Amino acid sequence: MKVILLQDVAKIGRRSQIVEVPDGYARNQLIPKRLAEPASAANTKRIEKMQADVMASIETNKQNFKKAIDTLKDALIKIEVDANEKGHTFKAVSADEVVVSAQKAGVNLDAKMINFQSPIKEVGKHTVTLVLDQSKADFKIEVVKK
């Protein structure tokens, strides 16, 4: 029986693939657990459209990533936080705070793309990494006391 995988299944295939599996395995394991659905013509067309949308989304994300890298390469994003007199913040800087500060600077980022090497808990300049698939880029942020 041909099925379309809705999730990655070990030793069978990856999400959105059309694979041939034994009828009993499809009916008793994959379909009831919502890991797959029968590969009808309508389902196949829907999956192909979904894959095209995903590919377009990936391409858009790559273009936005390149624009963000070009803009952030020379920029310094400032984030204001509450801190004590020694410069220690009361909480770590979050990816959402970096996103908001970057938007103020005119750069649209996704919080999922931001990677901290270690939690930022002190006032000063720090390096943050943007990650998209295998692409990585570093940019600087400055944490300042309110």
Max mean pLDDT among 3-17, 22-36, 71-85, 131-145 falls in 22-36
Query: 126 and 92, same structural domain?
Result: yes
- Residue pLDDT, tens place only, 29-86: 999 999 999 999 998 898 889 889 988 988 888 888 888 888 888 888 899 999 999 9
Q: What is the DSSP string of 35-55?
A: SEEE--HHHHHHHHHHHHHHH
Query: 74 and 21, same structural domain?
Result: no
Query: 82 and 96, same structural domain?
Result: yes
Q: Are 82 and 144 in contact (CB under 8 A)?
A: no
Instruction: Tell me the pTM.
Output: 0.63
Query: 26 and 83, same structural domain?
Result: no
Query: 135 and 86, same structural domain?
Result: yes
Q: Domain limits at 119?
A: 68-145
